Amino acid sequence: MIVVESLTKLYGTTTAVDAVSMVVERNSITVIVGTSGSGKSTLLRMINRLIEPTSGRVLIDGRDTGSEPGYQLRRRIGYVIQGHGLFPHRSVAENIGTVPRLLGWEEDRIRARTAQLLTALQLDPGAYADKYPHQLSGGQQQRVGVARALAAEPALLLMDEPFGALDPIIREKAQDDLLDIQRKFGTTIVLVTHDIDEAFRLGDRVAVMSEGRLLQYDRPEVLVTRPANPLVARMTGSAERAMRLLSLTTAGEAALPWTGSDGAADGPVVPTSASLREVLSELLWRGSECATVVDADGKPHGRLTVAAILARGRPA
């Protein structure tokens, strides 16, 4: 658990971050979203002390982060930045082994961990370990950046606009991969982005920042249904809020009980992982009233009618 206590950063008379307090739960993804200049990156960098706070403190699992040298703290916290920042003069394996080497791991252990991470990120260790960053595509470089950040098994991973340099299609894939990785390793992730869609897609909780202040910090659906102030409402997009709400719920969660194939026979078949927004779109396209929801094995899980989906698109 990370406790941020009235963290403040002043640059001269400018307040970059203004008394922000928040609690990040273990094994969750927290997304800090805001426009440029909102102080979101500064807040993130104060957690690993790349920037020293003017006042306030950060506790990780009850321990004050100010109690040890900054570089030692940072070796226990993963860090991913936009444009990956891979070392161009070191191979993929050497890049990934950076922090384990700083921590003095045995070479065998580093090699095994590197192979494990590359495999988890869908890069064949045999083919990629000895390549150099410039020989990789943008998406591959980004994945190596994530692997490098996870190398020393950090409990906490900080990400600053990690997908900012990727094109939209690769970005979506990278976001899915991150969710998989998070489930697999149970890492606590704090991610900064200016992209509200990304925030809603990834965040268990979303923090909205503006001009150094934390406007609202809650579950995504709460941000949509009960925005704390007009600015949050505008950022979450008041014209689209119903659709956004639908995109936060999966077909599996909202499915009505399976009662046989009545009425759904000619409708689309959708997986449980699809969002209600996607199911609605599919139904509109086909002119159907009812979709069949199937689980990963293709067995019927339930059904979804247009009316049932629409009911989910308004605040409870």
Partner 1 sequence: MTTLGFLLRRPTSAQDTPALARIDRLGALLTLVGAVGLFLLPFVTFKANRIVPGDPRGLAQVLPAWVALGCQATLAVVAAVALFGANAPLRLVAALAGIVATAAALAVAANALTPPHDLIVRVAPGAGFWLLLAALGLLATDAITRMRPGPGVRVLLLVLFLGVAGFALAHGTFDNVSVMREYAVNAAAFAVAARQHILLSLGSLGAAVIVALPLGIFCHRVPRARPGVLSALNIIQTVPSIALFGILMAPLGELAAHVPLAAAVGIRGIGAAPAVVALFLYSLLPIVANTVAGLKRVSPATVEAALGMGMTRWQTLTGVELVLALPVILTGIRIVLVQNIGLVTVAALIGGGGFGTFVFGGIGQAAVDLVLLGALPTVVLAYSAAVLLDALVELLDRVPQ
Applying CB under 8 A, the residues found at the interface with partner 1 are 48, 50, 71-76, 79, 81-89, 98-99, 102, 132, 134, 145, 148-149, 158
Beta strands in 100-258 (DSSP E): 156-160, 188-193, 205-210, 213-218
Distance CA 244, CA 147 (A): 31
Measured from the CB atom, the residue of 6 and 72 that comes closer to partner 1 is 72
**Contact residues for 39 (Cβ-Cβ < 8 A; gap 6+):** 9, 16, 17, 18, 20, 209, 211, 212, 213
Q: Smallest gap, in angstroms, from Cβ of residue 42 to partner 1? A: 13
Distance CA 144, CA 51 (A): 25
Q: Smallest gap, in angstroms, from Cβ of residue 305 to partner 1? A: 49
| The Cα angle at residue 132 between residues 129 and 134, in degrees rounded to 5 | 140
Q: Smallest gap, in angstroms, from Cβ of residue 82 to partner 1? A: 7
Q: Hey, what are 26's tokens?
A: 């273990």
> Taking the alpha carbons of 40, 43, 47, 51 in that order, is the dihedral positive or negative?
positive
Measured from the CB atom, the residue of 118 and 149 that comes closer to partner 1 is 149
Measured from the CB atom, the residue of 149 and 274 that comes closer to partner 1 is 149
Measured from the CB atom, the residue of 70 and 313 that comes closer to partner 1 is 70
Q: Smallest gap, in angstroms, from Cβ of residue 139 to partner 1? A: 17
Distance CA 149, CA 83 (A): 14
Measured from the CB atom, the residue of 98 and 193 that comes closer to partner 1 is 98
Amino acid type, 72:
Q
Measured from the CB atom, the residue of 188 and 250 that comes closer to partner 1 is 188
Measured from the CB atom, the residue of 79 and 200 that comes closer to partner 1 is 79
Distance CA 129, CA 149 (A): 16
Q: Smallest gap, in angstroms, from Cβ of residue 5 to partner 1? A: 22
Q: Smallest gap, in angstroms, from Cβ of residue 11 to partner 1? A: 17
**Contact residues for 262 (Cβ-Cβ < 8 A; gap 6+):** none
Measured from the CB atom, the residue of 53 and 145 that comes closer to partner 1 is 145
- Asked if residues 31 and 203 have their Cβ atoms less than 8 Å apart, the reply is yes
Q: Smallest gap, in angstroms, from Cβ of residue 71 to partner 1? A: 5
The Cβ of residue 286 has, within 10 Å, a number of other Cβ atoms equal to 12
Which residue bears the tokens 């990727």? Answer: 166
The Cβ of residue 106 has, within 10 Å, a number of other Cβ atoms equal to 9
- Asked if residues 140 and 61 have their Cβ atoms less than 8 Å apart, the reply is no
Q: Smallest gap, in angstroms, from Cβ of residue 118 to partner 1? A: 18
